[in-house]
A = this chain, B = another copy of it.
């Protein structure tokens, strides 16, 4: 089945994802402020039961302090004739995030110290922030900047920096087990599509899909946090619970373009989350992907995999942050992502969840192989030339279910999908020939 036909068949289709992305894209988000709350409201179209939480400015979260809330109504640079040469209404990337308010006429040379552009990408507006140092600034394309010729300009930023709160979204979907899978994405990026409207979109649809799976084993904890400060804040409120229950976690980021697939390991690289993503790519989807090292990380696994947090969290992405030229500029726009790209980002993460849901730890119950013929579990006539795949898999399950290898491990050895293998294991379990030794809590 090719990717296109999947889009048409699946209720969790890329076209719906792309529609949500289009609604989320224009909002001016930052680590705090109304843009985050507006985004939550749009996400609730897909995840109606998403709960928004607020943490007050000034609250200590581990080593950090929640900053003042930033909001912005308008911003522009205009000539003294009233011609707007840079206009926040055209792109919210034009303003350095957390710029304090200003309304002033200044010379071009004064203004120039507050301008940001990229000579290597002369058409792109770069994305710049100054969360923790009071400042203001404008970002604009290098080509536009070159055209500024007036002696003086009026500079207006109609922003506010006040006591307020940091907002994050949380949805806990209970399963049979208290063991949790953490899914985390971030809500602080303004109008950029792959990084990071795509994360919010795919996470929303993952949540919808999880809720549609009625027999789920795991409890799912889905969070929408501002990057870094939001992850830290969330950890500060939930660390004990997370450390007790989370068996695997995924940072959902850069899941919207359709140029490639990527994998960012956890710090150890061998957590259950890593196993699930690698198995999903290699054995279930048979999808090539770029493998990065933990040295190339750059999102909230920085917090989740910190040695004093130490959660088993990795990432399955489309084209990784920092690895595409449009990254962190206005060129990371709605043309960069696509229904197919979003669907692929959704699919690999969904598949990793399916891998985890199908995983189990079995032991063989018989001493030596069981008498399969007595249960009609093998063909009556044996010519021994070529064992059928099914018979081989049965034999191998008995051989490798030694209590140390879980089904993902065994499926990796057998070079098959754990989803297929789990069905076979269930059948053998129904005959009493395998027994799960996973705590069924």
Chain A interface (Cβ within 8 Å of chain B)?
Answer: 62-65, 96, 116, 118, 126-133, 135, 137, 228, 231-232, 235-236, 239, 267, 294-295, 297-298, 302-303, 305-310, 322, 327-328, 363-364, 366-371, 373-374, 380-387, 392, 395-396, 398-403, 413-414
Q: A309-B368, A368-B309, A369-B228 are in contact. Are A383 and B126 (CB under 8 A)?
A: yes
Q: A267-B399, A307-B399, A399-B306 are in contact. Are A63 and B366 (CB under 8 A)?
A: yes
Distance in angstroms between the alpha carbons of A366 and B129 in the assembled complex:
24
Partner of A385, one of B228, B328, B403: B328
Please state if A374 and B132 are interface contacts (CB–CB under 8 Å).
yes
Q: Are B307 and A129 in contact (CB under 8 A)?
A: no
Bound CA–CA A395/B370 (angstroms) = 52
Cα separation A371 to B127 with both chains bound (whole Å): 21
CB distance from A393 to the nearest CB of B (A): 10
In contact, A373 and B131 (Cβ under 8 angstroms): yes
Alpha-carbon separation in the docked complex, A130 to B373 (Å)? 10
Is B302 within 8 A of A383, CB to CB? no
Q: Among A127, A236, A267, A308, which residue has the most Cβ atoms of chain B within 10 A?
A: A308
Residue of B nearest to A380 (CB): B133
Q: Is the interface of A mostly helix, strand, loop or mixed?
A: loop
Please indicate which of the listed interface residues A306, A327, A328, A386 has the most CB atoms of chain B within 10 Å of its own CB. Answer: A306
Tell me, in angstroms, the Cα distance from A368 to B381 when the chains sit together.
Answer: 62
Are B322 and A367 neighbours in the complex by a CB distance under 8 Å?
A: no
**Residues B399 and A239 in contact, CB atoms below 8 Å apart:** no
Complex contact B307–A403 (CB within 8 A): yes
User: How far does the Cβ of A240 sit from chain B's closest Cβ, in whole Å?
Assistant: 11
What separation, in Å, do the CA atoms of A395 and B239 have in the docked complex?
A: 21
Q: Which residues of B contact A239 (CB under 8 A)?
A: 367
Q: Say yes or no: B63 contacts A381, CB within 8 Å.
A: no
Report the Cα distance A368→B232, complex, angstroms: 6
Chain B residues with CB under 8 Å of A386's CB are: 322
* B306 adjacent to A385 (CB under 8 Å): no
Shortest CB distance A233–B (Å): 10
Q: Give the residue name and chain of the B residue nearest to A414 (CB).
A: B295
* Cβ A367 vs Cβ B96 within 8 A: no
Q: How far is the CA of A98 from the CA of B367 in the complex (A)?
A: 25
Partner of A129, one of B131, B327, B381: B381
Residues of B within 8 A of A307 (CB): 363-364, 398-403
A397, chain B: closest CB distance, angstroms: 11
Q: How far is the CA of A322 from the CA of B137 in the complex (A)?
A: 68
CA distance A239 to B366 in the complex (A): 13
CA distance A429 to B396 in the complex (A): 46
A271 to chain B, nearest CB (A): 14
With the chains together, A137 CA to B380 CA distance in Å?
A: 12
By beta carbon, the residue of chain B nearest A403 is B307
- Give CA–CA (A374, B231) in the complex, Å: 18
> How far is B368's CA from A302's CA once the two chains are assembled, in angstroms?
7
6 shortest interchain CB distances as A-B pairs: A133-B380, A132-B373, A307-B402, A303-B368, A64-B371, A63-B370
28 A-B pairs with CB atoms under 8 Å apart are A63-B366, A64-B371, A118-B385, A126-B383, A126-B385, A128-B382, A129-B382, A130-B381, A131-B373, A132-B371, A132-B373, A132-B374, A132-B380, A228-B369, A295-B396, A295-B414, A298-B387, A303-B369, A305-B399, A306-B364, A307-B363, A307-B399, A307-B403, A308-B367, A308-B368, A310-B402, A322-B385, A322-B386
Whether the Cβ atoms of A369 and B302 lie closer than 8 Å is yes
B383 adjacent to A116 (CB under 8 Å): yes
With a cutoff of 8 Å between Cβ atoms, the chain B residues found around residue A308 in the complex are 363-364, 366-368
- Knowing A295-B396, A385-B126, A399-B306, the reply to whether A368 touches B235 (Cβ < 8 A) is yes
- A-B contacts besides A235-B367, A307-B398, 19 pairs, CB < 8 Å: A63-B370, A116-B381, A116-B383, A118-B385, A131-B382, A135-B381, A137-B381, A231-B368, A235-B368, A236-B367, A294-B399, A295-B396, A302-B369, A303-B368, A305-B399, A306-B366, A307-B402, A308-B368, A328-B385
> Which of B231, B306, B368, B374 is in CB contact (< 8 Å) with A62?
B368
